[in-house]
Chain A
């Protein structure tokens, strides 16, 4: 009665990754991780599922809507499948590694699950790779993580990277200054996320005027930073602006070799951030490759310093793979049945991918092509199949 129409059918938003893409994604992920490791970021591996309470507290709050939940039959507590790994790394830093020397540099890669996809991105299982730098309030830490994200993406072959710097706390400070009520602030934030100029104008008053200016300044970093500096803002927002500008300028100065834009009204995805944040784009991919920025880790150990400054970023493997041209074809060589193990080992040592025949065949060239091998081993020499036929 409940039979599936076809056993190949997967639930919405989930898919099989086949050769050669699966190997390519693993290769790119390890390329990114090698770059993080090379900068002193040590890998952690949190579990796939944990208690909902720790998964959704603090920086995890924003992901509550996206979390798959299930009941732990052992403890009878609710558990969640991680929708994001940053929150797990923050938990590790606040608990098991709370005594480790600061600044603490950690990195991670793994799969996450979201309860639902959206129209633009229907995938529910996503690969993430990221790095977190915990325990330093210095602007140099912000610069380090942006630089690391760009270096890692560049290292795996992503071209035309754009870093978009954002200032979600500027908008928050501005909303406070203008003493907007919750509903009005939410409506404005939604309008800003869509850069809906008409809706911002419709809000009227002082808020509309300032926000319209802010909408207009988004663009290449040099102009945008100058424009933001010259904006007339209420006191609280102006203080926030000055602090953000200092960090943004430092990042811009250090990253003069890449495309840098500034968008002060972008707040999506940054619900838990508290300083300069950034979004990574590549021209060849419609989704963002990743995002990151300043946040606070809740130590929650009852001690005096309950909050710890942190910064870091998460890369989305789906988008990263989308921005790359496909994998290079592997150097596969077909070995006729009976090839001695020593020969095989020799070829492996030279970097060949060997595909061994399991029985005698009439024509090894045809068999090699059928097995997707452009080369065959003939009389102890590796020969291109198309040279033989």
Chain B
């Protein structure tokens, strides 16, 4: 009963991919050891037990980690503030900056466009992005209507192939932009991963949840 998650167990949603490698040391530092299948790339399992009978882990896409926490299907999660800003779920708290997955969200365009472009004159622009809400809000803030083309990856291809002239995307080193002939023209936000907590879970199970937040805080502060 204890670890079935429906009744009393806590569920933590972790993002697949790049960030997961950075999450693991924090997880271990907080004293959480997932079952061996978690790190087996061949495993088709989606849900994993840990050394804590009361805590299990699910491994989902980065955007879905936020959704699971927002709806209370997972009580805890690791979510980038890019995803938090995009969804702006009122039911997710982010009480701790884990300081991992550091990157920046920027507007980029081909170098030749940047050279003779006057953003003052824009009333409407077309942007390829994985973050249509953030993009629309950002440009609306300066009186520009942004028409967003939602892509799920390889944004850098869009300008070269004539889909649109600008993209909003995450960059860390800037190498991918450069390789595709794009330059960064504006930064929208600094991005890091946060420990996300479901609002109702924090209210109704405050001791347990605060306990985990504190464990992660100690590890994140020490790092």
Contact = CB atoms under 8 A, between A and B. Distances in A.
Main secondary structure of the interface of B (DSSP, over half): mixed
A15 interface: no
Contact of B198 (A164, A285, A286): A286
A261 B206 CA distance: 8
B215 interface: no
A50 interface: no
Interface string A245-269: 0000000000000010101000010
A195 B70 CA distance: 14
Given A120-B89, A194-B93, A268-B90, A286 B203 contact: no
Contacts of A219: 206-207, 210
A97 to B, nearest CB: 35
Contact of A281 (B71, B90, B200): B200
B94 A120 contact: no
A198 B81 contact: yes
A217 to B, nearest CB: 11
Nearest to A289: B200
Interface in B5-49: none
A259 B206 CA distance: 10
B38 to A, nearest CB: 26
Given A197-B97, A219-B210, A120 B203 contact: no
Contact of A197 (B90, B92, B94): B94
Interface in A188-209: 193-198, 201
A195 B91 contact: no
A162 B203 CA distance: 7
A120 B70 contact: yes
Interface in B177-206: 192, 194, 197-198, 200, 202-206
B47 to A, nearest CB: 19
Contacts of A261: 203, 206
A277 interface: no
B89 to A, nearest CB: 6
A214 to B, nearest CB: 12
A196 B195 CA distance: 10
Contacts of B91: 120, 286
A285 B92 CA distance: 15
A320 B90 CA distance: 20
B199 to A, nearest CB: 8
Interface in B36-94: 70-72, 81, 84, 87, 89-94
Nearest to B197: A195
Given A119-B70, A198-B192, A288 B200 contact: yes
Given A198-B94, A198-B97, A120 B71 contact: yes
B95 A282 contact: no
A195 B204 contact: no
A196 B90 CA distance: 11
A233 to B, nearest CB: 21
Most chain B Cβ neighbours within 10 Å, of A160, A194, A281, A287: A194
A154 to B, nearest CB: 15
Interface in B118-160: none
B71 A162 contact: no
A259 B89 contact: no
A215 interface: yes
B96 interface: yes
Nearest to A280: B203
A88 interface: no
A283 interface: yes
A220 interface: yes
Nearest to B67: A119
A281 B206 contact: no
A287 B92 contact: no
A389 interface: no
A220 B93 contact: no
A130 to B, nearest CB: 20
A329 to B, nearest CB: 23
Interface in A1-34: none
Given A119-B89, A219-B210, A286-B71, A197 B204 contact: no
B90 A287 contact: no
Nearest to A198: B97
Contact of B95 (A162, A195, A285): A195
B212 to A, nearest CB: 13
B207 A220 contact: yes
A230 interface: no
A279 interface: yes
A118 interface: yes
A164 B203 contact: yes
Contacts of A197: 94-97, 194
Interface in A151-207: 160, 162, 164, 193-198, 201
19 contacts: A119-B70, A119-B87, A120-B70, A120-B91, A193-B90, A194-B84, A194-B90, A194-B93, A196-B93, A198-B81, A198-B192, A215-B95, A218-B206, A281-B203, A283-B204, A283-B205, A286-B72, A286-B91, A286-B198
Shortest beta-carbon contacts, A-B, top 3: A195-B93, A286-B72, A198-B97
Given A194-B92, A219-B210, 11 more contacts: A120-B71, A120-B90, A164-B203, A196-B84, A198-B81, A198-B97, A201-B97, A218-B206, A219-B207, A261-B203, A286-B71
